[in-house]
Amino acid sequence: MVVLPSLAMTSPSHGTRRRRPVLVPVAAALAAAGIGVTAALGGLKEAPPEKPPHVTPGQVIDQGQFRTEFLEAVDTTEQGSFGVTRRYLEILVKVTNLGKETAFVGVLPKSGDMVSRTPGFAGSILRVTPAIKSKYDPLASVVSYGIKSQLLHPGITTTVVVKYELEPAQQPPSSITVDVGKFVYERISDRHQTYYWQIVPKGELPTDAASEGEFIIPAIAAQVSLPVRQEQT
């Protein structure tokens, strides 16, 4: 405990000499007291990182290049070749291309922290939790009137279907959470002045020469939780 002395202390008297006040720096004493309290509490703690906004199914997400709505997740089956029934977990996303040029759906990133800077729409689906176990990589495509495509035309709203193939007896999760990234229209580097839609990173985009192909750690723009609906067969 730090005891603060009074603002004025007196020097010892000698005979009849007049007492002179001795000033004590109170601010320094208060600072010392504060240091003692901080040390006792274990030091200053850093603020926890800010969590990305959590959106509900069907709520609009502004991804810069795209306006998206994650609609639902469905446990479904399809008839494959030779009468084989295949089972899938599908994520249905309504996507509008807000850019001026046709974009590609692309592929989902591999598991891990790093992603391509210019991946196409599906590259902004950063992570699905819990991870969906499958022998194959997930597929993403535009589905319209039974026809699949990889093209997202400017100003056109389409439905993108992300498909994970499941084993026949595999139990899917009751719900999933999707981490979604965002795009920014920036120069690819100081050497190449061409502008591209790129995934927003944590921190700054690399701009030095020969950085065009570098992978980045993406920032999570939003999270959406989807219950998994069992499709009736």
Report the CATH number at residue 150. 2.60.40
Distance, CA of 229 to CA of 173 (rounded, Å): 10
Of 66, 77, 91, give the one whose Cα is nearest residue 176. Answer: 91
Q: Considering the domain boundaries, does residue 59 fall inside one?
A: yes
Asked if the model's pLDDT at residue 75 lies above 60, the reply is yes
Contact 183, 66 (CB under 8 A): yes
Six-digit token pair at 220?
């999570």
Q: Are residues 81 and 30 in the same domain?
A: no
Distance, CA of 87 to CA of 106 (rounded, Å): 22
Q: Are residues 39 and 95 in the same domain?
A: no
Of 59, 44, 153, give the one whose Cα is nearest residue 103. Answer: 153
Q: Are residues 26 and 95 in the same domain?
A: no
Q: Considering the domain boundaries, does residue 14 fall inside one?
A: no
Of 196, 73, 95, 112, give the one whose Cα is nearest residue 150. Answer: 95
Q: Are residues 100 and 213 in the same domain?
A: yes
Q: What is the sign, positive or negative, of the torsion defined by CA atoms of 45, 49, 50, 54? A: negative
Kindly indicate the confidence band of residue 213, based on its pLDDT and cuts at 50, 70 and 90. Answer: confident
- pLDDT value, residue 19: 53
Of 94, 96, 106, give the one whose Cα is nearest residue 70. Answer: 94
* 78-121 confidence digits (pLDDT tens): 887 777 889 999 999 999 999 999 999 999 998 778 999 999 99
- N-term to C-term CA, the chain: 74
- For residues 211-223, average pLDDT: 93
Asked if the model's pLDDT at residue 45 lies above 90, the reply is no
Q: Considering the domain boundaries, does residue 15 fall inside one?
A: no
Q: Are residues 115 and 218 in the same domain?
A: yes
- pLDDT value, residue 31: 47
- pLDDT value, residue 87: 94
Kindly indicate the confidence band of residue 61, based on its pLDDT and cuts at 50, 70 and 90. Answer: very high
5 is in which domain, residue-wise? 1-9+20-45
Q: Are residues 24 and 126 in the same domain?
A: no
Q: Considering the domain boundaries, does residue 102 fall inside one?
A: yes
Q: Considering the domain boundaries, does residue 179 fall inside one?
A: yes
Q: Considering the domain boundaries, does residue 65 fall inside one?
A: yes
User: Into how many domains does the chain fold?
Assistant: 2
Q: Are residues 30 and 66 in the same domain?
A: no
Contact 121, 152 (CB under 8 A): yes
Q: Are residues 41 and 92 in the same domain?
A: no
pTM of the model: 0.77
Q: Are residues 37 and 80 in the same domain?
A: no
Q: Are residues 106 and 189 in the same domain?
A: yes
Q: Are residues 77 and 102 in the same domain?
A: yes
Q: Are residues 24 and 136 in the same domain?
A: no
Distance, CA of 64 to CA of 195 (rounded, Å): 14
Kindly indicate the confidence band of residue 210, based on its pLDDT and cuts at 50, 70 and 90. Answer: confident
Q: Considering the domain boundaries, does residue 25 fall inside one?
A: yes
* 158-209 confidence digits (pLDDT tens): 999 999 999 988 999 999 999 999 999 999 988 888 999 999 999 999 988 7
